[in-house]
Amino acid sequence: MEGSEEGDHPWQSYNTVYTTAKAGMEGVDKEKVQRIVYEMSKGSKYFQNEERKEAFMKHKIDNMRLQFAKLTQADLSHYQNVADRRILELEASRDLSRIWLHVDMDAFYAAVETLSNPTLKGKPMAVGSMSMISTANYEARKFGVRSAMPGFIARKLCPELIFVPVDFNKYNYYSDLTRKVFQRYDPNFIAGSLDEAYLDITEVCRERNVKSEEIAQEIRVGVYEETGLTCSAGVAPNRLLAKVCSDINKPNGQYVLPNNRLAVMTFISSLPIRKIGGIGKVTEHILKEVFGINTCEQMLDKRSYLCALFSQSTAGLGKTDSPQVRFRKSISNERTFSVTEDEVLLHKKLAELAEMLSTDMQKEGLHGRTLTLKLKTASFEMVLKANIRGCSLLIDIVHEKFYMSSLSKSVHNMVFVLPLLGLRVSQFNGEKSGATPDPTQKTITNFITSGGANRKHSSFSDVADHDFVSDTETDVSIDGRHTDQLDGRDPFYGNHSLDVNYQCCTLWKNGAEKVQTSDNDDPNSNHSGCTEVLGSTSFQGQFQGKNVNNESNLPEDDRLNSCRETIMLWLDDYKCSLCGAELPPNFVEERLEHSDFHFAEKLQKEESSIRQVSTPIHSQDQKHRINRQSKSKKQKLSHKEGSCVQYSINSAYGSY
């Protein structure tokens, strides 16, 4: 049924993530849905990217088949032993005694929206937009509409579909109500997300001497009474299985898997691997294509092959009863927008992202060491660039990516069309020690900034201070601008930028044509301020550092304007006399910002010696407990094939 019929039914080979079975989709004409999805997608950039990924996956599968074929009998018996030994260990360490309950709200967002607008009841409805649907109610699911599907396709499937925009305030409110109920049964319950939770109900069952089934029923009734929303529950000896179980009688139902080995083994054996958390579309496909594995039982049969071809990373089911604090490891934000080749606009968007991120970090009291830029090209390829600091040029990153990755594209096609930008900060300082940052470290303040002194025309709003703690002397830091001014070099234009430019120039030499303006080998004369990823906005933060942000109103504005004029001018009405940046005359706002930048630079040089450098912000205890589902010791919930395989084996044998 697969690709063979492609000529007649090309949609059958277009496997989207929403072709898999989901609750509420039983009676759906899958063939028809798949055809419509295909027809709506065909030819789009998104579609082309899916094809690219599909080809990559096929390649991976071919490689794995080759390896598979190369395995000798000796290899296999060796790995059989490895697998069996591992299973024995897990058998020995398994704990049958706990009773876990997983609660999952039914079509949560949609249900909440229906509560607040009862006229929606009974009508097909989706929460989301024309671009993306978060949740669809059960009426809509009958048409094949489901989460992660773009709205315009959903509307094709169901023309009368009602769209409701997301409103997280509501969902948070109702989520809190449900959690009050959960708390009564397990004060240490684990919140998986707004609409999911894991409860260890072992003690409740024991103390009250009632069956888990009754507790599940009670909880569901309690949630309904508290919120008016229905949910489903699954009960099993561990969290992984409980989650699988909560999906079985959805919506508004429950399923109990008893705590005995036979029941679990029977349950597992026919369970499709895709049901297991961590096994997604790709992994499922690989396991099916290479090994012919569909169910957990088949996975067990092939355990020697799997151990031979996948990594041995530990992925056991560890203890499930020890509450643990999980620390956030990164914080990020990203935005999708309609493609633009307006570089200035892109940098403005980036500055906005930076500002939001900075605010979020401040709220959480976070300090990171690595700043990563994420972008998506017009052909939907994701690109990451770590450690961009304040020196990288967005355009360099894009150019580099294009030169490296697609020779087929002509240089002229390297336009700046980006539908997505994002920023992420990671590598936080360990908060556990409670120590303040090492004073010898450079604090990068205001790596993200914005907000001038009451400038109405500013596209940036107010500043966040703090943020980054760099741990090496050689790090490029915006903070350097506070401290390094005295040596007479301008770090903004200084040699920090050379690395990037050097790479870029090298690439250009190898490439066919030079696209960007020339002079990139001269660090002192080339960069247009507006192309600095983060730098162009930084001065405003420095204003804040001096607390001038709210000092005055109109007079300040006037002063700014006159100063701008005294330190720079625009050659031929479009070229900056100080740095050579080129901005068309009609870029009024951008030119003002650019002027501000130079002005701030000047101010900063004059006053840098007065300024205090860092403003360490102490964490407000970032140990906000997201949940305690973090792995105990060996329990690494892994998402990779190898680990998932192992994980599943463990869930089948180790934990059961």
Partner DNA sequence: GCGGATCAC
Partner DNA sequence: TATGGTGATCCGC
35 lies in the binding site for DNA (CB under 7 A):
no
Report, as residue numbers or ranges, the catalytic residues. 196
CB-based contact 253:259 (threshold 8 Å): no
Q: Which is nearer to DNA, 196 or 484 (CB)?
A: 196
Per CB under 7 A, the list member of 5, 30, 31, 46 interacting with DNA is 46
Tokens of 410: 């002509």
C-alpha of 122 from chain center: 34
Residue 404 parent element (H or E): helix 394-405
Specify the 3-state DSSP secondary structure of 472: coil
One-letter-per-residue 3-state SS of 230-247: CEEEEEECCHHHHHHHHC
Per CB under 7 A, the list member of 130, 221, 588, 613 interacting with DNA is 130
- The secondary structure of 212-233 as a DSSP string is HHHHHHHHHHHHHHHHS--EEE
Q: Which is nearer to DNA, 362 or 454 (CB)?
A: 362
Q: Which is nearer to DNA, 579 or 645 (CB)?
A: 645
386 lies in the binding site for DNA (CB under 7 A):
yes
Chain positions 190 to 219 lying near DNA, rule: CB under 7 A, are 192-196
Per CB under 7 A, the list member of 3, 4, 30, 44 interacting with DNA is 44
Question: Integer distance in angstroms from the first to the last C-alpha of the chain?
Answer: 35
Q: How far apart are CA 444 and CA 479, in angstroms?
A: 4
Binding piece for DNA, criterion CB under 7 A, among 119-127, 174-182, 291-299, 639-647: 639-647
248 lies in the binding site for DNA (CB under 7 A):
no
For CA atoms 208, 212, 218, 223, the dihedral sign is positive
363 lies in the binding site for DNA (CB under 7 A):
no
329 lies in the binding site for DNA (CB under 7 A):
yes
Binding piece for DNA, criterion CB under 7 A, among 138-146, 205-213, 325-333, 568-576: 325-333
Q: Are strands 231-236 and 100-105 parallel, antiparallel or unpaired?
A: antiparallel
CA angle, 41 then 42 then 45, to 5°: 75
Smallest distance, DNA to C-beta of residue 611, A: 28
Q: How far apart are CA 293 and CA 287, in angstroms?
A: 5
616 lies in the binding site for DNA (CB under 7 A):
no
Q: How far apart are CA 191 and CA 169, in angstroms?
A: 17
Per CB under 7 A, the list member of 10, 13, 22, 57 interacting with DNA is 57
Question: Residue 159's CB: how many other CB atoms inside 10 A?
Answer: 9
Length of the chain: 656
Whether omega for the bond prior to residue 251 falls within 30 degrees of 0, making it cis, is yes
Residue 379 parent element (H or E): none
Smallest distance, DNA to C-beta of residue 428, A: 9
280 lies in the binding site for DNA (CB under 7 A):
yes
Radius of gyration of the chain (CA): 29
39 lies in the binding site for DNA (CB under 7 A):
no
Per CB under 7 A, the list member of 106, 284, 396, 556 interacting with DNA is 284
Smallest distance, DNA to C-beta of residue 526, A: 22
Chain positions 141 to 160 lying near DNA, rule: CB under 7 A, are 147-153
Per CB under 7 A, the list member of 332, 379, 495, 608 interacting with DNA is 332
Chain positions 221 to 240 lying near DNA, rule: CB under 7 A, are none
Per CB under 7 A, the list member of 6, 21, 30, 53 interacting with DNA is 53
Chain positions 286 to 315 lying near DNA, rule: CB under 7 A, are 310-311, 313, 315
Q: How far apart are CA 527 and CA 532, in angstroms?
A: 8
Smallest distance, DNA to C-beta of residue 414, A: 15
244 lies in the binding site for DNA (CB under 7 A):
no
67 lies in the binding site for DNA (CB under 7 A):
no
Residue whose pair of structure tokens reads 């830091």 in the numeric block:
477
Tokens of 571: 């050659």
Q: Which is nearer to DNA, 199 or 603 (CB)?
A: 199
Smallest distance, DNA to C-beta of residue 150, A: 3
Q: How far apart are CA 540 and CA 468, in angstroms?
A: 17
Binding piece for DNA, criterion CB under 7 A, among 93-101, 171-179, 203-211, 322-330: 322-330
